[in-house]
Amino acid sequence: MYAATGRWLLRKYVPVGKHSEAVALLLGTTVWVLLTSLPYVWPFIVVFLVVISLGLALTARYRVGWHRSQSGSVF
């Protein structure tokens, strides 16, 4: 969530083509830490983060093993 938020903010507000992943992580983490430090709002933000993170983790598709495709590429 932190990285996705940071990437989204960089795409939206920084017009430069190349963005650093470290800057995206720092920006996303800063946003979520600021949101969770708001009085009376932080419990809702924490519940939102837990629900979204759990949902993403449970619905993520992953490969169990390495499979070779017809073209010989691993991906």
**39-63, pLDDT tens digit by residue?**
999 999 989 989 988 888 888 776 6
Tell if the pTM clears 0.75, that is, is over it: no
The terminus-to-terminus CA distance of the chain in angstroms comes to: 25
pLDDT over threshold 60, residue 72? no
Position 4 scores a pLDDT of 86
Dist. CA 55–CA 16, nearest whole Å: 32
pLDDT over threshold 60, residue 11? yes
Q: Nearest to residue 27, comparing CAs of 6, 13, 48?
A: 6
pLDDT over threshold 60, residue 73? no
Dist. CA 66–CA 69, nearest whole Å: 10
- Residue 68's contacts (CB-CB under 8 Å, 6 or more residues apart) are 74
SS3 50: helix
